[in-house]
Amino acid sequence: MSRLIIEGGGRLRGRVRVPGDKSISHRVLMLGAIAEGVTEVEGFLEGADTLATLAAFRSLGVAVEHAEPGRLRIEGRGLRGLHAPPGPLDLGNSGTSMRLLAGLLAGQPFDTILTGDASLTRRPMRRVITPLERMGGAILCTSEGTAPLVIRGGRSLRGIDYDLPIASAQVKSALLLAGLYAEGPTRLREPAGSRDHTERMLRRFGATIATEGGVVRLTPGTPLEATRVDVPADLSSAAFFLVGAAMKPGSDLVIDHAGVNPTRTGVLDLLRLMGADIEVLEAHSSSWADEGGEPVADVRVRGGALRGVEIPERLVPLAIDEFPALFIAAAAARGETVLCGAEELRHKESDRIETMARGLRTLGIEARPTADGIVIRGGALQGGVVDSASDHRVAMAFAMAGLAVHGSIEVADCDNIATSFPGFVEAAQRAGLRVRWA
């Protein structure tokens, strides 16, 4: 299990381009696989999570050429062209792969088994199983509602009219993918808007889908058509750099070509609320913007003093993956930061409320978990050894804490950084973080 050592001090300067968006990379594989024709992809994330989805589709009979990093050529097999895989599909650490595939595979003529690593097989799956069963699917799981999942094939699915109990793009996307195979339309409402990459990409591939008044409506029956997709840089990976630069005076950093889809930009709003100096430069759209694509921009951040805030609950789903990084900003800020309405953080790759609180306390910061959030009192960060609990985002967040620490930080159990951000350490070194593998 590899460890990171971060020497205190440093600041972040220059330009950084982080790898491709994880959510979009998963989705382009899924839709490319069931489209008619060849989908060409640039900027695909070469992370363990998205490579697990790629391997799964190869097992399902899809030819994917991957001649160069970031470039894929997916030979779509059409909606009905997937084959039974030779064995269980191992999705490693990736919750997005498992939940979205559960939806996509519920309407196939064959059975599939989905499994994953110790973290993934602890995560809740009934949130997708329950509505998929209401659509006519049949999915077996453990008595705890966890993977391995056995997805029974040969079922006839019906469209569903469903109020999601939680704002979850993974649940919404699973149901939309199942809806492609169902009889009749699927209508979904969320308690708060979650990331809408699936809706945008389905539209891009020619599906009949519309969002109106908070209701997503998919009408099946239109074949998907292959397309080209340029994947923007992942704002969730950029978030570590945004936080690091924002909280360290003397920093001045530009993140290139970042995805700034408004359902993902809660981190920018929250950092600004905390007093950060952030500029979204020349927001331009990728080549497919006019077909419902993804907006992209360069983002400049300059370091300064941050203040603690009460986090508005409406921003929680829009920044759901960025809280580990934002908790570091809160630790370095003046005053108290209060987060509520974020119980979902307990169900990510680790229980992010507990793992972050434990690590922050090790670094001398007062951090009090609550049932659905945390209260952090900013202060002087001291050195120490923190455990990431194998959670990629926790590991990268504590690495950035090095910018504000007196002494040095050791972060244990960092292998999973490669699930979402291969090359993180090198990119951080180039920008000015004093980090190295132990």
Choose between 119 and 170: whose C-beta lies nearer to ligand S3P. 170
Helix axes 235-247, 392-401, angle to 10 degrees: 20
Choose between 306 and 356: whose C-beta lies nearer to ligand S3P. 356
Helix (H, G, I), strand (E, B) or coil at 432: coil
Q: Which of 108, 170, 265, 416 binds ligand S3P (CB under 6 A)?
A: 170
In the complex, minimum distance from the CB of residue 275 to ligand S3P, in angstroms, rounded to a whole number: 26
Which residue has its beta carbon closest to ligand S3P?
23
96 lies in the binding site for ligand S3P (CB under 6 A): yes
In the complex, minimum distance from the CB of residue 188 to ligand S3P, in angstroms, rounded to a whole number: 13
Say if residues 105 and 33 touch (Cβ distance below 8 Å).
no
In the complex, minimum distance from the CB of residue 231 to ligand S3P, in angstroms, rounded to a whole number: 13
* Residue 56: how many other CB atoms lie within 10 Å: 25
Span interacting with ligand S3P, options 169-177, 204-212, 408-416, 426-434, rule CB under 6 A: 169-177
Contacts of 283 (CB under 8 A, 6+ apart): 260, 295, 296, 297
Q: Which of 40, 344, 354, 366 binds ligand S3P (CB under 6 A)?
A: 344
Choose between 174 and 332: whose C-beta lies nearer to ligand S3P. 174
Please state the φ and ψ torsions of residue 27, each to the nearest 5 degrees: -70, -35
* Residue 317: how many other CB atoms lie within 10 Å: 23
Q: Which of 190, 298, 321, 391 binds ligand S3P (CB under 6 A)?
A: 321
194 lies in the binding site for ligand S3P (CB under 6 A): yes
| Nearest-angstrom CA–CA distance, 358 and 364 | 10
Residue by residue, DSSP assigns 403-432 as GGEEEEEEEE--TTHHHH-TTHHHHHHHHT
Say if residues 26 and 49 touch (Cβ distance below 8 Å).
yes
168 lies in the binding site for ligand S3P (CB under 6 A): yes
Span interacting with ligand S3P, options 11-19, 79-87, 166-174, 269-277, rule CB under 6 A: 166-174
Is-cis flag, bond preceding 262, omega within 30?
no
173 lies in the binding site for ligand S3P (CB under 6 A): yes
Residue corresponding to tokens 């800020």: 333
169 lies in the binding site for ligand S3P (CB under 6 A): yes
Choose between 10 and 103: whose C-beta lies nearer to ligand S3P. 103
Secondary structure letter of residue 82 according to DSSP: -
Q: Which of 23, 121, 251, 390 binds ligand S3P (CB under 6 A)?
A: 23
Cα→Cα distances 316→192, 326, 366, Å:
9, 11, 22
| Nearest-angstrom CA–CA distance, 49 and 97 | 7
Active-site choice (321, 387, 391, 413): 321
Say if residues 339 and 333 touch (Cβ distance below 8 Å).
no
31 lies in the binding site for ligand S3P (CB under 6 A): no
Please list the alpha-helical segments (H only) found in 302-384. 323-332, 352-362
Binding-residue total with ligand S3P (CB under 6 A): 11
For residue 159, the one-letter residue type is: G
Helix (H, G, I), strand (E, B) or coil at 38: strand
320 lies in the binding site for ligand S3P (CB under 6 A): yes
User: Residue 415 catalytic?
Assistant: no
Give the contact letters, 195-234, x = binds to ligand S3P (CB under 6 A), - = no: x---------------------------------------
Span interacting with ligand S3P, options 168-176, 281-289, 398-406, 427-435, rule CB under 6 A: 168-176
Say if residues 112 and 100 touch (Cβ distance below 8 Å).
no
Helix (H, G, I), strand (E, B) or coil at 282: strand
In the complex, minimum distance from the CB of residue 383 to ligand S3P, in angstroms, rounded to a whole number: 30
In the complex, minimum distance from the CB of residue 99 to ligand S3P, in angstroms, rounded to a whole number: 7
**Composition of the chain by helix, strand, coil, percent to 5:** 35, 30, 35
In the complex, minimum distance from the CB of residue 167 to ligand S3P, in angstroms, rounded to a whole number: 7
Residue corresponding to tokens 């469209």: 159
Span interacting with ligand S3P, options 162-170, 251-259, 285-293, 373-381, rule CB under 6 A: 162-170
Span interacting with ligand S3P, options 165-173, 257-265, 277-285, 367-375, rule CB under 6 A: 165-173
* Residue 344: how many other CB atoms lie within 10 Å: 17
329 lies in the binding site for ligand S3P (CB under 6 A): no
Catalytic residues: 321
By the criterion CB under 6 A, which residues form the site for ligand S3P? Answer: 23, 96, 168-170, 173, 194-195, 320-321, 344
